[in-house]
Every structure is written in C-alpha cells, then in structure tokens.
C-alpha cells in the first residue's frame, strides 16, 4: 500500500479552494488535509504538531500575510513542506522571485485544472514543476537556476526551527556584531546572547559562527 501525499491548500477565495480540493481528490494518491484563508493561518498550520501535510498549494495574493511573506517565513525557519505557488500572474519576474524564495512549483490559475495533480506529484518526488504560458526556454532557465538551496542537496538535514530571538541574534551575528554588541543592541545581558549563540549552534548543527553565517546566507536571512 502506497503512502498518500497530503496536501494543504491556501487561498483567500474559498470557492477556489473548493475547486482545487475537488480536482485533487479525484486522484487516489493525494489527499487534502485542511485549508487556510490567509498566510497567518498557513503559518499556524505548519506550526501545528499534528500537521502532516507534504505539499502546500499557496496563493500569492492573500490578506493578513501574503504568499511572499509565507515563503520568507518558511525559508528562515527551514520548513520542510514543499510549496507550489498558485498564481494569477504569468510573469517571469514573479516566477523568479518565488523561486528565489524557495518554492518548488509554479502553476498559473489558468493551468491549474490540468496540471495541479501532476505538479503535486512532481514536487513531492523532489522535482521542480512549472506550468505557465511563458516561453519554454525562460522556464527552463529559471527552473534550472537552482536559487533554491534545498535543490542542491536532495535530503537536507532536518533542523530545529529558530525562535524570534534566535533569528534576531543570527542576523546581528551576520552583521559582524560580537556578543557584547548584540547584547547592547537588543538590550539583553551578554549571558543571554551567549545562550542564544549556543542554541543556534546546536539547532543548526554547525561547529562555529562560520556555519551560522553560511546558513544565514543560504536561507537569505541576511
């Protein structure tokens, strides 16, 4: 018995979600598992311990938090779920931006009906998937561009999520601040900053500050 692919859908138009779910459920390998009406809900969803979605279908334009902000959050926190952007725009600039933010697929709403199932299966296999009316060469070059850090390593080591404070400290470390300077900037005791440094090293599984900076750059935290 084959493992099902669990999919979560996020769009601010409920009718579109219903349509997507209807299409997805025609395939026996895929099962929808909840939906979100804005970016905030998506983030709450991924932070939910019982969340077992493999793939997220994400609209770009959503209230509260939009798709871009959600992708940024995912990237900074090293969220494992694969994201397919479902967009009304068929514009290279946008595809490019989404890719640089780490999405695995991009499907225009025009093409969603025919291609969404194919897309879900592809990204779940670890591939990238694109469906748009854009020039084929363009898509090839964009998708081959590997701006996505995970794209290079098939099995990225699973890292613990960073807290807000840890992220702030990491950002300041990347600005060549030392512990004392970080403490002054954040109005904390140096001992506190040292604690965060230690938990960063532990969570990101790196040896020293060099590994921290490389993580920060790869994940575009800086």
Partner DNA sequence: TGAAAATACCCCCTTTAGGGGGATTGTATA
Partner DNA sequence: TATACAATCCCCCTAAAGGGGGTATTTTCA
Residue burial 15-51, b: 16+ Cβ < 10 Å; e: rest? ebbebbbebbeebeebebbbbbbbbebbbebbeeeee
Interface pick for DNA out of 78, 81, 132, 179 (rule CB under 7 A): 179
How many residues of this chain bind DNA (CB under 7 A)? Answer: 27
Partner interacting with residue 22 (select from a copy of itself, DNA, none; CB below 5-8 Å by kind): none
Closest CB 137 distance from a copy of itself, rounded Å: 6
Closer of 130 and 196 to DNA (Cβ): 196
Pick the stretch among 11-19, 54-62, 95-103, 179-187 that binds DNA (CB under 7 A).
179-187
Residue 218 CB, nearest distance to a copy of itself (Å)? 9
User: Pick from 100, 111, 163, 185: which binds DNA (CB under 7 A)?
Assistant: 163
CB of 109 to a copy of itself, least distance (A): 22
Q: Contact with DNA (CB under 7 A): which of 14, 25, 29, 47?
A: 47
Interface residue with DNA, options 85, 196, 215, 221 (CB under 7 A): 196
Q: If binding is defined by CB under 7 A, does position 110 make contact with DNA?
A: no
Task: List residues near a copy of itself by CB under 8 A.
Answer: 92, 96, 135, 137-138, 141-142, 145, 173-176, 178, 206-211, 213-214, 217
């Amino acid at each position: 018995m084959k493992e099902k692919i669990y999919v979560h859908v996020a769009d601010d138009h409920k009718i579109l979600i219903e349509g997507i779910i209807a299409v997805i459920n025609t395939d026996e390998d895929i099962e929808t598992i909840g939906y979100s009406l804005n970016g905030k809900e998506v983030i709450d969803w991924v932070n939910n311990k019982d969340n077992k979605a493999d793939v997220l279908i994400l609209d770009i334009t959503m209230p509260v938090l939009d798709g871009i902000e959600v992708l940024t959050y995912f990237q900074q926190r090293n969220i494992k779920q694969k994201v397919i952007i479902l967009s009304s725009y068929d514009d290279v600039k946008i595809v490019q931006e989404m890719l640089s933010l780490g999405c695995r697929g991009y499907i225009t709403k025009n093409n969603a009906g025919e291609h969404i199932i194919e897309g879900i299966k592809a990204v779940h296999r670890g591939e990238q998937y694109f469906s748009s009316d854009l020039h084929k060469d363009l898509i090839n070059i964009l998708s081959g561009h590997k701006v996505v850090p995970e794209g290079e390593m098939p099995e990225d080591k699973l890292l613990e999520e960073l807290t807000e404070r840890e992220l702030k400290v990491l950002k300041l470390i990347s600005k060549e601040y030392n512990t004392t300077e970080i403490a002054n900037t954040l109005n904390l005791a140096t001992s506190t900053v040292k604690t965060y440094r230690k938990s960063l090293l532990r969570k990101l599984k790196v040896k020293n500050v060099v590994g921290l900076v490389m993580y920060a750059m790869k994940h575009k935290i800086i």
